[in-house]
Amino acid sequence: MHLSDHLNMKALLGDKRQTGVGANRFGGEPVQALSQPLPFSSWIRNELSLLLLLTAVVGFWHPLVLLFSLTQQQEHYSHIVLIPCLSVYVFYLHRKAINVSREWSPWLGLFVIGLGALCYGSADAAIFAPDQLSMTILALVLICWGIFLSCFGVTLCRKVSFGLLFLLFMVPLPSFLLDAIVGFLQRSSAEATDVLFSALSIPVFRQGFVFSLSNFTVRVAEECSGIRSALSLFITSLVAGHFLLRAVWTKIGLVIIVVPLAIAKNAFRIVGLSLLANYVDPTFITDSLIHRSGGIPLFLLSLVGLLSLAWLLRRIEKRFGYFPAK
């Protein structure tokens, strides 16, 4: 190949990069092809999206009332009332991008809405008796995704994906998944409690989940699994990772640390109450304010540790250049 031919080929490739012909086939242009130019004003689009969302809320009003009642009856679901508020806050932070968006994806959005309608129609009480509410709220989340996707397009959905995906935490955990998580935390807390007793040189006889001390016997029941604080710490780690961190590996690391942190916190609580009941007064476990609310200070301490780790990871990211210098 002559030098002139080489230069012509280089110029041709340069033109392709400028015109987008050589765009990545897995991103960019194909994603934009899923959206269409908005045929009317953004003001009409915004009003339409709000109207559709309000219609969805009204249509699912009864399941939402049942969901609120669930948050009052079961403590490990108390976080659900805060989920929509945080999602709305994410949308508020991207309000400029939402207002200037000039695309929509009506057909793709209708497909997602159809999936939500199918999920709602499949929520038969005879089949999903314990999990009917989970299926119904999942249907609502899918419909909300479809409405947003229809009105604002794929590009904007990717930009606010955290706020959209965060709505999944409104869905109560299916019974099989909840039982699996509670069982794992119960077993792990019992193992950590055994290790802590050994580290403190406390004489104890263990049979499964039962720990027999000199004057008192304690059983690590399902209610002692710490599911509420574990879920709260898990959600907090996701939120902190999204707002404070940039790298995927630091976000994943922050989430992973929640598991041993929640287990250790629960083990300290169990051992502390056991020692008080054995050597001071049995009512510390049977009926005391420390038993009912003693986990709150430990949870706050765990929360401080988790946020401190997020701050440390942010410092590491700055050192490696994930945050541009001002």
Identify the domain boundary among 171, 187, 202.
171
Given a contact cutoff of 8 angstroms between Cβ atoms, the answer to whether 308 and 245 are in contact is: no
Q: How far is CA 148 from CA 63, 75, 100, 159, 160, in A?
A: 21, 31, 15, 12, 10
- In-domain check, residue 46: yes
Query: How many domains would you assign to the chain?
Result: 2
Q: What is the pLDDT of residues 195-211, one digit of tens each?
A: 999 999 888 999 989 99
- Residues 78, 204: one domain? no
Given a contact cutoff of 8 angstroms between Cβ atoms, the answer to whether 294 and 285 are in contact is: no
In the 8-state DSSP scheme, what is residue 287?
Answer: S
What backbone phi and psi angles, to 5 degrees, belong to 217? -120, 135
Q: Which residues contact 45 (CB under 8 A, 6 or more apart)?
A: 38, 104, 151, 152
Most confident of 113-127, 134-148, 214-228, 309-323: 134-148
Separation CA 80–CA 84 (nearest Å): 8
pTM: 0.83
Q: How far is CA 50 from CA 46, 54, 151, 321, in A?
A: 6, 6, 10, 40
- In-domain check, residue 92: yes
Tokens of 99: 């207002």
pLDDT at res. 319: 87
Report the DSSP beta bridge partners of residue 107.
none
- Residues 130, 260: one domain? no
Angle between helix axes 42-59 and 61-73 (nearest 10 degrees) is 60
Q: Which domain holds residue 133?
A: 38-171
pLDDT, averaged across the chain: 84
Reported confidence tier of residue 28, pLDDT bands at 50, 70, 90? very low
Given a cut of 50, whether residue 19 has pLDDT beyond it is: no
Identify the domain boundary among 104, 136, 171.
171
Q: What is the pLDDT of residues 260-319, one digit of tens each?
A: 999 999 999 889 888 888 888 777 777 766 666 667 888 899 999 999 999 999 999 988
Identify the domain boundary among 171, 203, 231.
171
Q: Average pLDDT, stretch 111-117?
A: 95
- Residues 197, 117: one domain? no
